[in-house]
Every structure is written in C-alpha cells, then in structure tokens.
Amino acid sequence: MGHSFLSHFLVLSCSTPGFSSSLSRAGTKHLKSSITNLAFSRRGIRFGGKSFRCCSSSVSVSQSAVSENSPSPVKKRVVSGVQPTGSIHLGNYLGAVKNWISLQDTYDTFFFIVDLHAITLPYDTQQLSRTTRETAAIYLACGVDTSKASVFVQSHVRAHVELMWLLSSATPIGWLQRMIQFKEKSRKAGDENVGVALLTYPVLMASDILLYQSDFVPVGEDQKQHLELTRELAERVNYLYGGRKWKKLGGFQSPLYHRLEPGLCPSLMGLSKMSKSALSDLSRINLLDSKDLIVNKIKRCKTDSFPGLEFGNPERPECNNLLSVYQLISDKTKEEVAQECQNMNWGTFKPLLTDALINHLHPIQVRYEEFMSDSAYLDKVLEEGAERAADIADTTLNNVYQAMGFLRR
C-alpha cells in the first residue's frame, strides 16, 4: 500500500478471479483519477453454503457511500496510506491524495502513514521519523480535513502488527513466494540483502485492510496481487476459525472490487508513470519542488520534433505524457486540452505547463510550511487519529483472538 497509485476499481467475483467488463464513472469530476478498491461489507456472511453477499459491478462510488439497508445510515469506510520514503510526487497526489479530499465528505475515512511498510528494504533510520511527520503535513496541506478524516501513523496502532502475526500463522508460504513484487525486488537486491519483511509485507497489508473492515482501499497497480491475497486470507481465516463464536462476531467479510476509468500521472522521461523509485528525480514533479526546480525539470523533459501537439499518437509518447500531465493538473478534459494545444509548439507549451504546475502547487507548499512549523498541532492530529483508529482496530483484533482460541485478557 502506498508505493504508487492506480486510478481504478477492480471488480472481482466472490468465487472466481474473473474481472467484470462493466465500467462506471464516479459522480464527481475529481474522481476521474479514481482509485483501486477492495470492498468489505461490514454485514454478516453465511459460512455453511460459502455464500457471500455480492453487489452490482456497475455501482459507482458516489452511489455506494452509505449502506442502504441499515436502520441508521452507516458510512462505508475508506482506508489508504503512503510510505514516508522519498518525496510525494505529482502522481501520488493526483492518483490518490487529491481524491481523498472528495471521499472524506462521503465516507468514513482513515488515511495513515505506512511507516512499517517503509522498512522492508534498507532505509535511513535518521530520516524515518522526519519523513513520517512531513508526509502527515502534506496530507493536511493537500486538504485532508481532520474533522472528517482520521490521520495517523501505522506503527502508533499496535493492532496492525499483532493481527499480521495472527494472519501469518494461517498464510501458506507458497502464497507469499508467488508474489511478483517479492520476486522482482529480491532478484534486484540479492538474497543476502533481502529481509523476511519483504516476503511477509503482503500479510501486513492484509492486516491494514482487515483491521478496519474496509470497504474501499486505494492502492497502486503493483498491489493488485496483494489485494487478491487479502481476499484469500480473509476466506481462509473464516474457514479455519469460522465456528459459531466467529460467525457471531461477524468474521472477515468477503471482499468485492469495483472498477473505474484509470488516470495515471505519466513520467516526464520515457514511457513509465511517475514513481518514487525512478533513479532520476528529473522524471517526476515532487509536491515540494521549488519554482526554479519545476522550471528546470520542464525545460529538460523529453520532447519530439513533430509539429503541433496531440494525444494518442503512438509515435509521440513524450507528447502524450506532457499533455496528460497538463490535463490532470489543470483539471480540464482531454478534448479541451487537445483543442487548446493542437497548434502549439514546445516553446509555447512548456511555459504553459510550468505555470500551471507552479500555480497549483504553491498553495499546497505554503500550507505545508505552516503545518510543519506547528509541531504541537501535528502531534495532536496524529495522536487523535491513532486513538480513533485503535478503537476500531482493537475490536477486530480481540475478535480474532477469540476466534483463534486465545485466553481472553
């Protein structure tokens, strides 16, 4: 969770891994860069016939924010987080954090800094606490409202680690060894440099999701397989410990997925998306980049020698990338941008893109500095967020302990 962000919902059958072909758009324009979601109904399920309550594959986010069958409306829950490693870039912001602002008005939202995930690979111990605080400040600067959303640090809610250990006891090691991310990262780093945490990382992610009985979980494309694992783990725990007591407690609910139109933020260099892990900082616009740095990055970004500017030409990937960045940051439609820029050359377009980026990011940077200068307020936000999260997480954790037969405390 939080490595990178993809802007769609996947529809996954309760019984098979097939994808639904039905697509639906969100009710607001800001959700055009939507999110991948793992949905858990917080209502009960039947174990005997393996029957799970499924919903329509065409339900939109705005339509499904409140459970309709409840006597008193209960908001569905969104849980998401970003690792405090590297700088939060434009792709993180447009693909996830900006969408949180719309979601917090309709959903019960929990946005946390996933510092436990940040230590699965070598990291700088001197910077971890600093970058954790900086990430929280960026959340608030981007518009996360603490009167509507809970903001907290993952390690401040101990239930994340405890549930991970309980889930690990039910996780076949073969399930983890088939994870593509583990294979790729371990191959790059070498066996001697890879810790066990990289292998068990998906179990911690499953714990993050299941603790809060989350309805929607924004994650990146590279986490899709981990969401599958979360669903399988929920069903396995239900099967292994699904006695009468566990059923009465509600169990882990069967996850459902919904898909919306993707909206990735492309790299300034080459064909990939913006990423923290990209070697060159020139490939991305970071939210805290100075005006001069943004100017320099746009000046040096890859272009081509074709006349005019256009979307969708396979021979012009750099043109498509930069037009897409402008479209996302200016909040215009693709058609509006195509018409505006069709007769421009790079000498005209680059200053336009630069000004759009600077004007959009400057207010965020000003608010960020304000929050960073008030450490007492930031600490209070994180403390209150952790308390609210722990109230929910501890209930789930205690239920799992009971289901697994532990002596009650």
What is the token pair recorded at 368? 């960020």
Four-CA torsion 232, 233, 236, 238, nearest 10 degrees: -110
Catalytic residue among 32, 76, 98, 185: 185
How many Cα atoms within 13 Å fall on the side-chain side of residue 186?
Answer: 18
Residue found by looking up tokens 């917080």 in the block: 42
| Known catalytic residue at 273 | yes
Tell me how far CA of residue 375 lies from CA of 132, 134, 136, 148, 380, in angstroms: 12, 10, 11, 21, 9
| Known catalytic residue at 276 | yes
Helices 346-372, 125-141: axis angle to 10 degrees equals 100
C-alpha–C-alpha distance, residues 179 and 197, integer Å: 13
Catalytic residue among 276, 299, 334, 350: 276
C-alpha–C-alpha distance, residues 208 and 112, integer Å: 10
C-alpha–C-alpha distance, residues 291 and 211, integer Å: 41
Catalytic residue among 32, 76, 98, 273: 273
If we measure between CA atoms, which residue out of 230, 229, 168, 170 comes closest to residue 200?
168
What is the token pair recorded at 113? 């800094």
If we measure between CA atoms, which residue out of 248, 240, 245, 163 comes closest to residue 207?
163
Residues involved in catalysis: 185, 273, 276
